[in-house]
Structure 1
Amino acid sequence: VTNGYMTIEALQLLCDAGLDAVNVDIKGDAEAVWKYCGADVEKVWRNCVEFKKRGVHVEITTLVIPGVNDDEDCLRGIASRIRRDLGENTPWHVTQYYPAYKALEYKLYPKRTPVEILEKAWKIGHDEGLNYVYIGNVPGHDKENTYCPKCSKLLIKRYIFSIIEYNLNPDNTCPKCGEKIPIIGGYRRSPPTF
């Protein structure tokens, strides 16, 4: 997990060291990122593309904060940019914010992001053509699961970070329609360790 704000040289060093997957936090549109982070979000987007060009698996996370980055234009802009620059199979995690540390000092929303806003973001992601949009930080929500983009079969059921069900074929295809699901690796259930 990274904020993605680095030089191309630093990015290359990470790739040379063996980085094979990255989850980049896209915090909002240019205005929100500049206002709250003092950073240029275009450099973060550039780095997402550069990671992908180098064969690194890229996922995007957006912590959805009411009043900061929850408006439809901002969310639609992020979703469409993911599809355009990284592809329709790039996972987008829209996660629930909850106030902590200096959140109130910065006059951020004083409560958790309402689930309805996350569901709106999830729908926007799908409307923009993304196949794998997830709601995060809401344990037990059905949108933390992976569904087949072709037939909607439940493929991976999750609870927070745990896999509860794994329904993919060994070759990572959907058992119902045969759609190839772009997941790296496989799943092997192992007993808990104490």
Structure 2
Amino acid sequence: MTIEALKILIEEGLDAMNIDIKGDKEAVSRYCEANVEKVWRNARLAKENKVWLELTTLVIRRVNDDEECLRGIARRIKNELGEDTPWHLTRYYPAYKFAKDAYVPATSAKALEKAREIGREEGLNYVYVGNLPGHPFENTYCPNCQELLIKRYRLSVSRYNIKDGKCPKCGKGIPIIGH
């Protein structure tokens, strides 16, 4: 997306967006034939304009699941967008051309859990695991005391436990919109 297009969307009322971060410079260039810096530029512009921003990385074995790549993404999120920016790490399933051209198995739960651990180690407060229905890390926990704040199953919320924008257990402010 161009800067001009994003600015028009923001001027017209865009207040939330999810941007896919496919990987580091090498992975994005090789598999997407794109410039990842333009993606990061758009993420920064959205954040600067108070657009609620969440990022998603489809974790694919041998493409973007190595520790260096994941740490690099996590650091950039924290340093450029802030520690409270949600990062969704989603499971890859073999499908369409990529599955035929370079067979890669579905991402394991263990690999996603390790990726989440890397994000948390790098200082991100809200790191989620996706495409694993019922997994505990699709939920939101207080980054201070680990109290379960939002319980999810796929796209449904079965429990919402944020009171006046704060964790009911420790009182930490929780910068989550919606409900």
After TM superposition, the structure 1 = structure 2 runs for residues 79-158 of structure 1, keeping only pairs within 5 Å, are: 79-109=74-104, 111-158=105-152
Runs of 4+ aligned structure 1 residues displaced above 4 Å come to none
Q: Give me the CA root mean square deviation.
A: 0.8
Question: CA contact under 8 A between 1:76 and 1:128: conserved in structure 2?
Answer: yes
Per-residue CA distance 1:5-55 (angstroms, 9 max, x = gap): x11101101111211001000000000000011101001001100011111
- 1:183 maps to 2:176: yes
The 1-side partners of 2:41 and 2:55 are apart by 13
After TM superposition, the structure 1 = structure 2 runs for residues 28-39 of structure 1, keeping only pairs within 5 Å, are: 28-39=23-34
Could you state the TM-score of these two structures normalised by the residue count of structure 2? 0.98
The 2-side partners of 1:149 and 1:30 are apart by 29
Number of residue-to-residue matches in the alignment: 179
Unaligned stretches of 5+ in structure 2? none
The 2-side partners of 1:89 and 1:114 are apart by 26
Unaligned stretches of 5+ in structure 1? 1-5, 188-194
After TM superposition, the structure 1 = structure 2 runs for residues 151-170 of structure 1, keeping only pairs within 5 Å, are: 151-169=145-163
1:59 aligned counterpart, secondary structure = strand
2:4 aligned counterpart, secondary structure = helix
Could you state the TM-score of these two structures normalised by the residue count of structure 1? 0.90
The 2-side partners of 1:52 and 1:166 are apart by 25
1:89 aligned counterpart, secondary structure = coil
- Greater percentage in helix: 2
- 1:173 maps to 2:166: yes
Per-residue CA distance 1:59-87 (angstroms, 9 max, x = gap): 11000000100000000000000000000
Deviation at 1:108, TM superposition (A): 4.0
